[in-house]
Amino acid sequence: MATSPRPSGQKVSRPASAPRFVFESRAALDRILSKSETYSGVFPSHIGTIADHLGRACDLNRNVVIGMIMLRQDGTYAIRHAINVACVVELALRDLGRSPTERRPVVAAALTMNIGMYAIQEKLSTQSGPLSDEQRLMMQVHPVEGRDLLRKLGVTDPLWLDYVLQHHEIPDGSGYPQQLSGDAIHFEARLIGIADRYCAMLTRNAWRRGQLSDLALLTSLTGSANSIDVKLGRLFTQTMGLYPPGAVVQLLNGEVGIVKRPGRSEQTPIVAAIFNKEWHPLLDIVERDSEDIDYSIIGVIESQRVAGLIPMEDVWGSDAAGA
C-alpha cells in the first residue's frame, strides 16, 4: 500500500538519545552565555533546564555521554568544556547517591563556572603564547567576577554561587581567589575543580596536546598530600575509571579498540575491537573483555586518531544516535 506523502515542512520526530540531549545542551548554553545580559531574571531557569537535559542524557546511557567527552571534541571549546564538566559532575554525584534536587545546583555551577572569563576563554584555548599580565589577572579573579555576574542575572541559590566562587580553591590553601583550606571549601566545589582539570587535560588546543585518559586521571588526582582528599579521589576514579568509555586502547593481541563500558574492575573495561595490529579495520567490531589476559590493555592511544573514523553508533548502537 502506498504511503501518504509527508506534508511539506512537517518535522520528523527523532527518538531521544544521549548525544542529541548533549548537542542540544551545547547549543542552548552557547545562546545563553553569548548574550547572558538578555536572560536577566530567567537565567537560572534556563540553566536549570540544561542541567535537566544533561541528566536525561545520563539516564539514557552514561557510557555514551563519557564517550562523547573523549571522541567529540568539535565546536566551541568554552561551551563544550562546560558541558563536559557538568556531565562528569552529574555522574559522580549520582554515584554518591545524591538526589536530582541535590545535584541540580552543582551541575548549574559547573555549567557557569567560567562565566566570569567567558569573553576571553575561547581566545585562551587557541593562544599558543604565555598569558599576558591582564589575562593572568582575569584568570585569578574570574570566580569572583562569575559569582557577581550570576547574582546580577538572578541567581539567588547560595550553594550555586559558592560552588562557582570556590571551584579553584584547593584544600592545602594554594588555590584562589580566597586561598581557602580544608573544610572551608565545599566538597562539591572541589569536585567541580577536579572535573574541570580532568576535562581540560583531555582536550587538544594550541598549547597542549590532549593527554591520554589514564595520564589525565593521574594528573588530575596528583598534588600535595593535602590537595586532594581520599574520598573525592576515590569517587572520581570510580566514576571515570582508568580507561573511561571512549578511550582508545591497544590490546595484548595487537588489536586497537574503543572502551565501551566498565568491566569487572577499573582496570579491565569491555572494549570494542575495531582495528587489527596493522590498523586495518576488522570485518566486524568485536567485544573484548580486557580481564582476559589475551585482550588485556597494554597502552592508550590518543582518542583523536580514531574520532570521526568510526561512528559512535558502531560501538554503542542506537544509544549513540545523533553523535
- Please report the pLDDT score of residue 4 as a whole number: 43
Q: What is the CATH number of domain 18-240?
A: 1.10.3210.10
- Please report the pLDDT score of residue 241 as a whole number: 87
In this structure, how many other beta carbons lie within 10 angstroms of the beta carbon of residue 231?
11
Low pLDDT (below 70) residues in the chain: 1-13, 125-128, 204-229
CA-to-CA distance for 295 and 198, rounded, in angstroms?
27
On whether the CB atoms of residues 300 and 243 are closer than 8 A, the answer is yes
In this structure, how many other beta carbons lie within 10 angstroms of the beta carbon of residue 221?
17
What are the distances in angstroms from CA 142 to CA 134, 199, 286?
Answer: 12, 19, 47
What are the distances in angstroms from CA 263 to CA 37, 93, 244, 287?
Answer: 46, 21, 11, 11
Ranges of CATH 1.10.3210.10 domains, the chain:
18-240
- Please report the pLDDT score of residue 157 as a whole number: 98
Tell me whether residue 56 is exposed, middle or buried, using C-beta atoms within 10 angstroms of its C-beta: 0 to 12, 13 to 18, 19 or more.
Answer: middle
On whether the CB atoms of residues 14 and 20 are closer than 8 A, the answer is yes
Ordered strands of the 248-251 beta sheet: 281-289, 270-275, 256-261, 248-251, 297-301
- Please report the pLDDT score of residue 222 as a whole number: 57
222 phi and psi angles, rounded to 5 deg: -100, 135
- Please report the pLDDT score of residue 1 as a whole number: 42
- Please report the pLDDT score of residue 50 as a whole number: 99
CA-to-CA distance for 2 and 15, rounded, in angstroms?
24
Give pTM, 2 decimals.
Answer: 0.89
- Please report the pLDDT score of residue 180 as a whole number: 96
